[in-house]
Amino acid sequence: MKEDILQTIIAHKRIELAAQEEAVPMAHLVQQLDTPSDGISMKASLASSPYGIISEFKRKSPSKGWINAEADAAIIPASYETNGASALSILTDETFFGGTLKDIRTARPLVNLPILRKDFIISEYQLYQAKLIGADAILLIAACLTPQQCMSLARTAHELKLEVLLEIHTEAELAYVNDYIDMVGVNNRNLGTFHTDVENSFRLAEKLPDNYLLVSESGISRPETVISLRTAGFRGFLMGEAFMKNSRPGETLSHFIHELKVCL
């Protein structure tokens, strides 16, 4: 039987969060936050963009190992903005993806794009962290939560002026969509096995609600795929490895958008 990578990650995340909360209690985060201010709307940025590329900053993954171990959060997110990204996704999981909360803190003052905190969020504590480090949106993964947990976390996120991207992988997970969700993402990667199939977005496209901005995540590497996905109703396209495996991710994004323009 193959190891379920997602369950391994969540088990570790619970241990990690317990240690973080012991070091910095929730009450301290609440006190630091005071009155939440509006962030930059990721939904609006994607809706108004002709390309909708969400460029991801990540150093490694459980399936590929190290992708770009020396990646600098003071350089790459800003280069993504310069080269045409519509939004940024920054991994903050350290053990499995090589990220830290500091990566968003570092990038935030250097960019004017919306930043998605991409992590395995299972606790309100992580929402307060996200707001304090300067994130504008958070990812909620249906496979990590119950529908009730998803709604509660999404509601709290809105109270903190954070937008919510709900990630689903199967038709059954459409049950997780609620009034506090701003964007619905289809992950083309199975989080149990990490097998990737971009056809998953096309399979679910017709079943997704019309009133949510749709995002296709993972496994996208060709401009033609983005065009086909846009035709199917998607407006956001999360791409990480396609850029991060190169020494200059921002320039790789620029070439990709140039090819996209030619195809349009």
Question: Which residues are known catalytic residues?
Answer: 56, 58, 118, 167, 187, 217-218
The strand pairing partners of 186, in sequence order, are: 168, 216
**DSSP code string of 173-191:** GGGG--TT--EEEEESB-T
DSSP three-state, residue 110: helix
Q: Please give the DSSP secondary-structure letter assigned to residue 38.
A: P
CA distances from 243 to 57, 219, 220 (A): 9, 12, 11
Tokens of 262: 């030619």
**DSSP code string of 47-79:** HH-SS-EEEEE-SEETTTEES-TT--TTTHHHH
Angstrom distance (rounded) from CA 181 to CA 158: 9
Angstrom distance (rounded) from CA 211 to CA 113: 23
Please say whether the beta carbons of 142 and 167 come within 8 A: yes
